[in-house]
Structures are given as C-alpha cells and as structure tokens.
Amino acid sequence: MDTTEILSEFTESQNSTTNSSSIFRNNESTTSMKTESESSRNNYYVIDKSLMDILLKIIVCGIMPPMCVFGIVGNSLALIILFRHRPTRSTTILLIAIAFADLAFIASTIVNVVSLIIRSFYPEHAKEVSMSLIIPFSVYLSPLPGRISNWLVTLISLERLVAVTRPLKVKQICTKKLMLALSIVIPLSVAILTSPKLWLYEVKEVTLPDGNITKIITLGSIGRQKELFEVYYVISEALLRFVPMGLSAVCNAIIIAVLFLQAKWRNRKQNYTVGQQPAGDERQITKTLLTITCVFIICLLPSTISRLMILFDPNSSHVNYSSNVHTLLTLIGLITESFNSSINFVIYVTMNNAYRRQLYLFCGKELEKKTCTVPRAAIMVSSLANTPNQKI
C-alpha cells in the first residue's frame, strides 16, 4: 500500500537525471553513479520510453481519478456502516482504523497523481512541483498511510487466527481495549520509525554563474551517511513491508487449513455440538476478513517485487533504478494498491449479512425520510391552496 513512496521517489529520481551532479554532490560515489548512468542509458529502457509515457498518461488520467473517487465514496460508506454496526466488536475497531488509513492513502495518491499529471503535461513546472512536495510529503507523509495499513491488516489476520483456533477465548484475548490501543500505537510507531527520512533530502538555494539563484535537491544529513542509511532502509523495508506481508500470508494459510478441517469435520460428524466450533456469524466474519487480507497480499505483490529487485540488484538503489522495469512495476503497484484501498467496502457488503443489513437500513431510512416528507409537504401545500377557494 505504500507505492506512493516508490512513485514519488521515482519521479524525483527522473527529475534529477539531468543534474545528477547537483543532487548527489555530497555523495562520495557521485562520479561513478553519473558515469554508470550515462554508459547504461540504453540498458535502462528495457521497455520503450514512448510506450511508458503512454502508459503513464493512461494510468494517471484515465484509471486513477475514477478509482480514487470510488475509494473515497466506498470508505466513507464503510465508516458509516461500521460506526452503525452493533454490537461493536474488536474486529470493528480494526476495520474502522483501516478505513481511515485507506482514506489517507487515497488522499496522498490524489496528490501524487496530480503531480504526475503536471510533470507529464507541463514539464516546465516539474522542478517547482518536486521542490514543493519532496519535503515532507514525498519522503515521509505520502508512504505513512500504506505502512500503517500494512500492520493493521496483519493485526486482523492475527485476530482471526485466534478466533479460529481459540474460539472460546478470543473475546478474552482480543479485547476491544487492546485493539483500540494497538490501533493508536501502530500509527505512532510507524510515524516514529519512518521519521529519519525527513532528513534524507534537503532543498538548497544556489547561485548560478550568471548570478541567478535556483533551488536544488541535495542529500540531507541522513542521506549523506550512505552506509548507515542503507542499513536503515533494509530494516525499515523488512519491518514495514516484508514482515507484515509474511505474517499475513502465514496466518491466512493456517486459517484456510483450519476452516477446511472444521468444514470436513462438520460434514462427517452428525453429533456436532454447538459451541465447540465458531458460530455461523463468526465463520462469515472470518471468511470476509480472510478475503480482505488475501486481496491485500495480492495487491501488494507488484511493489514488493520491485522492492526486492532493488534490494538484490547491485545496480539499483532507492534513488537510482537500473531499468524502467521498476517504473512499470511501480505503476502497476499504484493501481493494485489503490484498488486494495478502495475495494474493502464492496467485500463487506457482498460477503457479510450484518454489514449488508446495515447498508440497507441506512439507505432505507434515507428513502423513508424522503418518501414521507414529500407527500406531507404536498398535502399541506394543496390544503392551503384549496382553503381560500372553499371559502369563496
């Protein structure tokens, strides 16, 4: 869900290609990076540049705007349904936190899409946009919602694992207070862990030989510590992407196996005792949340593959891609992760009777108000209009 970070880093890297000596001026490997970039320019375009430009414009102009609108509407309706749902479960608290994180992710995606549109159609303003967005939005604020959502979805997987394997103790283990506390602690922890990126870059004013003053993006106090930042980068990627994704996958595998065994056991045993296995509503909630986490893992795959390629490719780094295959994976990841942040509401109402009932009840009340108010108003108007005629 944090493709926005990759996307923003890519756009900054692309804008810096023509002036790499300025941006990496404080890095000891400036000369080698620049020479390598120029010598391998042809190898960079594994996918034709004109085709990538067309794909970029189709995605940012045709696909992302309606998807963002759908995500805002869907998550808003999800929040309404979740707040109206009674009784409030520990799972409901986590779903509310995820809905807020998804709304924040879509908001950051809208900003990135707008900046990409400006860079694509108004290249003369590309530098100004980069300077205004890189600190703190591109390097810090933009990836936060996705990183937070990663751990919230993982927390749901862990909660469902307890619900499936320990159905009689889940209410004592996964209490509402605990889930509420974790819903607050996780965003704060992610915000603190990613805060060093605020000092990755800095914007400086320099005087050109002709006397004009311009702004450039240079490596900041953290960015200049190359070895230290590379260690931090690997640790943060592991903790905020690979670990939650791996935990979700393992939990889902166990949940699917347990559900399969339970279904097989119920079909074979005629003397099935109610209370020893999860109730029908609980199984339905489990299947709904299992679908959410599976969609989450699938949608996170493109950007995760790109991250792994960067980590294991000696010619790539978080600021310098070896080929535009990373760009293609980033664009695909932008679509899939935005889809993941928008589709949860549809999963709720199609797979869970309780949430669907709340949606119908909400829409029904609104319709009832409209159908009741209009006829009464019409009757009052008609009666007032007819009263003088009757007197006459």
Give the tokens for residue 178: 């605990």
- Name the amino acid, one letter, at 326: H
Angle formed at CA 130 by CA 129 and CA 135, multiple of 5 degrees:
115
* pLDDT (0 to 100) of residue 289: 87
CA nearest 297: which of 372, 241, 381? 241
Q: Write out pLDDT tens, residues 298-338.
A: 999 998 888 888 778 767 666 667 777 888 888 898 999 99
Residue 371 scores a pLDDT above 80 = no
Is the pLDDT at 387 greater than 50, yes or no? no
pTM of this structure: 0.77
The pLDDT assigned to 279 comes to 56
pLDDT digits (tens, 9 = 90+) for 232-269: 888 999 999 999 999 999 999 999 898 888 877 777 76
C-alpha 272/C-alpha 257 separation (Å) is 19
Residue 23's pLDDT is what? Answer: 29
Amino acid symbol at 36: E
Mean pLDDT over the full length of the chain = 78
- Look at residue 125 in the predicted model and tell me its pLDDT: 81
For 158, the token pair is 């862990």
Q: Provide the pLDDT for residue 126.
A: 80
For residue 318, the model assigns a pLDDT of 63
Identify the CA nearest to 313 among candidates 43, 75, 96: 43
Q: What is the DSSP secondary structure assignment for residue 201, as one 8-state letter?
A: E
Q: In angstroms, how far is the first alpha carbon of the chain from the final one?
A: 72
Nearest alpha-carbon partner for 95 in 215, 175, 179, 202: 179
Angle in degrees, 0-180, between the axes of helices 280-312 and 344-351, rounded to the nearest 10: 150
In sign, the C-alpha dihedral spanning 190, 192, 193, 194 is positive
Tens digits of residue pLDDT in 9-48: 444 444 333 332 232 233 333 333 333 444 445 577 777 8
Q: Does residue 67 surpass a pLDDT of 50? A: yes
Q: Considering only residues 69 and 385, tell me which one the structure prediction assigns the higher pLDDT.
A: 69
Which residues neighbour 145 within 8 Å (Cβ) at sequence distance 6 or greater? 1, 2, 101, 102, 104, 105, 107, 108
pLDDT above 60: residue 100? yes
Greatest C-alpha distance within the chain: 99
Query: How many helices (DSSP H) and strands (DSSP E) are in the chain?
Result: 17, 2
CA 244, CA 302: separation in Å to the nearest integer? Answer: 16
Among 242, 197, 252, residue whose Cα is nearest residue 219: 197
Query: Which one, of 346, 361, 371, 367, lies nearest residue 291 by Cα?
Result: 346
C-alpha pair distances (Å), 342 with each of 3, 6, 71, 152, 337 = 15, 20, 4, 16, 9
Percent pLDDT > 90 in the chain is 31
Distance CA 89, CA 151 (A): 19
Higher-scoring residue by pLDDT: 37, 294: 294
* Residue 277 three-state SS: coil
Which residues on adjacent β-strands are paired with residue 207?
A: 213
